[in-house]
């Protein structure tokens, strides 16, 4: 069911795409990918982004095929209400896993940059409640938050890139594929579980403003996000070279930008970048929490209104906290990046985005046939 009060614009969509794409690939992935693929890590990350961008294009194509319909309405029209509810439960479990893994990256980033050894189980309880509350306020609130933070975050990233480019060490970057294709191929196979960066767009279907040029927002958002990922990861390799794999969770680029700025006491660019990464991280988590809420709402067939929203929010918070008691952070990450990555990545990150336009076409054809039959009966 589409809530017309929850519609977002193409401009807001562009910022949300940037926030979904950048956070994992800058905070958590560069050092891990550098260990797997060496100096060609940026090529693998660029390839990942292209795969994610193709999935985003397929998902957003639904708005052109059959605008105004949500994902679960399309599934229900094609396969029935019961299957739609089961599908919502399975998809919600996937979003819960992605939320948890992304939360792990943000939490580790905070530990390395803000405070020392603090139990993540203590941290996840208030964070889960706050994020579910924010997500429960609706998609439009998350879109506005992305829009408000977007310009400031992009300005800081551009400033950091300018400082870093001034002292770039190109010899750490070249030659491309100097060790052959094997390291890049190994890195590509190791972290395919990060393909699902844009899967939250599935929950955006049916929530775009009617007549708005969604393609324009998607194109500029994907373009900016792709440039940020490629440039930042190239700079990461250029500065650290063979030591890149020993860096942790995004603070390396933050420290480099401050060093390149030439000041450790004035114009604290590192602190501003820290706030930018954290802001992007929490918006990203809020988007995934919104997706979990939508799945719970559909799976349990909760009615709209304050009561339904409250029930889904409580269930979502309980699930997030309960998940953390079953799996430790490291255990969950090892499972997610282990053999299970193929089970999670291929169906959800490849097959699902490819099938969504087909669902839209089938649902539209069925609705048109139903309208035609109803018109003939009237005559």
Instruction: State the pLDDT at residue 3.
Output: 44
Give ∠ CA 178-182-184 in degrees, rounded to 5.
75
pLDDT digits (tens, 9 = 90+) for 310-369: 888 888 888 888 877 676 555 566 656 667 777 777 888 888 999 999 999 998 888 777
The region that residue 249 occupies, defined by phi over 0 for left and psi between -120 and 50 for alpha, beta otherwise, is left
pLDDT digits (tens, 9 = 90+) for 170-206: 777 777 887 788 888 888 887 777 778 889 999 998 8
Structure confidence at residue 260 as a pLDDT band (50, 70, 90): low
Name all domains of the chain by residue range, CATH numbers in brackets: 8-359 (1.20.1740.10)
Are the beta carbons of 128 and 106 closer than 8 angstroms? no
Give ∠ CA 345-346-348 in degrees, rounded to 5.
65
Among residues 131, 120, 141, 149, the alpha carbon closest in space to that of 272 is found at 149
> What's the DSSP call for residue 303?
P
Residue with tokens 């969770």: 249
Instruction: State the pLDDT at residue 5.
Output: 47
Instruction: State the pLDDT at residue 266.
Output: 44
Q: Cα separation of 341 and 46, whole Å?
A: 19
Instruction: State the pLDDT at residue 91.
Output: 94
Beta bridge partners of 208: 8
Across the range 230-252, mean pLDDT stands at 71
> Where is pLDDT greater, at 92 or 375?
92
Across the range 204-215, mean pLDDT stands at 80
Residues 6+ apart with CB under 8 A from 107: 120, 123, 124, 127, 329
Across the range 210-231, mean pLDDT stands at 85
Q: Which helix (H) or strand (E) holds 371?
A: helix 352-378
Q: Cα separation of 106 and 225, whole Å?
A: 19
Are the beta carbons of 375 and 223 closer than 8 angstroms? no
State whether the Cα torsion 232-104-85-137 is positive or negative: negative
Beta bridge partners of 8: 208
User: pTM higher than 0.75 for the full model?
Assistant: yes
Length of the chain: 379
Residue with tokens 């992007």: 280
> Where is pLDDT greater, at 207 or 107?
207
Are the beta carbons of 59 and 201 closer than 8 angstroms? yes
Q: How many CB atoms lie within 10 A of CB 61?
A: 17
pLDDT digits (tens, 9 = 90+) for 105-154: 777 776 666 665 666 666 777 778 888 888 878 888 888 888 888 888 88
Q: How many CB atoms lie within 10 A of CB 230?
A: 16
Which residue stretches of 192-268 are H helix? 214-240, 251-261
pLDDT digits (tens, 9 = 90+) for 275-291: 777 788 888 889 999 99
Q: Cα separation of 253 and 239, whole Å?
A: 9
Instruction: State the pLDDT at residue 196.
Output: 82
Instruction: State the pLDDT at residue 329.
Output: 57
């Amino acid at each position: 069911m589409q809530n017309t009060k929850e519609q977002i614009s193409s401009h807001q969509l562009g910022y949300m795409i940037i926030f979904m794409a950048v956070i994992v690939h800058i905070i958590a992935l560069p050092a891990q990918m550098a260990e797997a693929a060496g100096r060609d890590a940026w090529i693998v990350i660029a390839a990942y982004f292209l795969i994610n961008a193709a999935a985003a294009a397929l998902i957003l194509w639904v708005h052109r095929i059959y605008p105004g319909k949500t994902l679960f309405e399309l599934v229900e029209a094609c396969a029935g209400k019961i299957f739609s509810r089961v599908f919502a439960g399975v998809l919600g479990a996937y979003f819960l896993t992605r939320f948890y893994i992304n939360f792990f990256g943000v939490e580790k980033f905070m530990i390395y940059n803000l405070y020392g050894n603090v139990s993540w189980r203590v941290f996840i309880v208030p964070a889960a409640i706050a994020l579910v509350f924010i997500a429960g306020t609706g998609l439009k609130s998350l879109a506005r938050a992305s829009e408000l933070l977007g310009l400031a975050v992009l300005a800081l990233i551009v400033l950091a890139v300018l400082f870093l480019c001034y002292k770039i060490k190109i010899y750490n970057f070249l030659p491309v594929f100097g060790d052959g294709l094997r390291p890049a191929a190994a890195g590509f196979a190791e972290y395919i579980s990060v393909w699902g960066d844009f899967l939250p767009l599935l929950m955006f279907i049916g929530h775009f403003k009617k007549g708005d040029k969604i393609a324009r927002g998607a194109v500029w958002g994907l373009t900016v996000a792709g440039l940020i990922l490629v440039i930042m990861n190239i700079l990461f390799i250029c500065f650290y070279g063979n030591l890149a794999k020993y860096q942790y969770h995004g603070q390396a680029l933050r420290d480099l930008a401050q060093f390149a700025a030439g000041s450790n006491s004035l114009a604290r660019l590192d602190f501003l970048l820290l706030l930018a990464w954290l802001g992007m991280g929490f918006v990203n988590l809020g988007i995934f929490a919104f997706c979990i809420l939508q799945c719970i709402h559909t799976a349990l067939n909760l009615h709209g209104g304050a009561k339904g929203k409250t029930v889904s929010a409580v269930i979502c918070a309980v699930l997030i906290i309960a998940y953390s008691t079953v799996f430790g952070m490291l255990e969950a990450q090892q499972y997610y990046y282990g053999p299970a990555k193929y089970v999670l990545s291929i169906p959800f990150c490849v097959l699902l985005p490819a099938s969504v336009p087909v669902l839209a076409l089938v649902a539209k054809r069925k609705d048109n046939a139903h309208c035609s039959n109803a018109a003939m009966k009237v005559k």
